Amino acid sequence: MIIKVLGPGCTSCVTLERVTREAVDTLGLDATVEKVEDYPTIMGYGVMSTPALVVDETVIFSGRVPRAAQVREILARLAS
């Protein structure tokens, strides 16, 4: 599983990256978490509002930071 956190480094983007990494560790997932800050790349995903979470090249959500429990639930569902 390849997980990308899209965003320029704002507070919300940093929070989403932290919460995502914690969820991967908690769930014991075989996943790579990448931070993408390049605007053309972000826009290539069709994302106009950051932060955004991309899993295996599919945008899962954008423009908000969900609760840590929601990120864990999303990743657990996608990993199964």
Instruction: Please state whether the peptide bond connecting residue 66 to the residue before it is cis, i.e. omega within 30 degrees of 0.
Output: no
Whole-angstrom Cα Rg for the chain: 11
Catalytic, 31? Answer: no
The single residue of 3, 6, 13, 23 carrying the catalytic annotation is 13
Cβ-based neighbours of 17, under 8 Å, separated by 6 or more: 5, 7, 33, 35, 51
Give catalytic status of residue 49 as yes or no.
no
Catalytic entry in 1, 2, 10, 43: 10
Active-site positions read 10, 13
